[in-house]
Amino acid sequence: MTTTASLGDVVANPKHLKIRELDAAQIPRSLDDMAAAAVNMSYALPAGLDPKTAMILEGTDTPFSLIWTASSKRRDDPRIKRLIGLYRSPEVKAFILAKFNGSVIPNW
């Protein structure tokens, strides 16, 4: 999924918010200069941010989940199915929950 939204897509701003576009990697270091920001988890965690202190968190129905893909020729490859099965195992789920302390939620 590619997101192509930009400031040009804002059609109304009745509260006259000052909206700025930043590269995702810059946002964690710029938080002190902003009232609010959306920070990708892949940048929030390495920056030492605790997602549990966020104003809003996405639910498990987020479109930004891990999606497994393969070429149509390899769609039924047992190795790919095994890899997906291993990733979705109870052990990996337990690791994710322990490692990320509830900040990353396995949603399979």
Residues 42-52: tens digit of each pLDDT: 898 899 988 87
**Is the CB of residue 23 less than 8 Å from the CB of residue 43?**
no
Q: What local confidence, expressed as pLDDT, does residue 94 receive?
A: 93
Sketch out the chain's domains with CATH numbers: 1-57 (3.40.190.10), 59-108 (no CATH)
> What is the percent of the chain where pLDDT is above 70?
92
Q: One-letter amino acid identity for 84?
A: I
Residues 1-32: tens digit of each pLDDT: 556 778 889 999 999 999 988 998 999 999 99
Q: What is the pTM (predicted TM-score) of this model?
A: 0.60
> Measured between alpha carbons, how far is 47 from 49 in angstroms, rounded to an integer?
6
In 1-108, beta strands by DSSP E: none
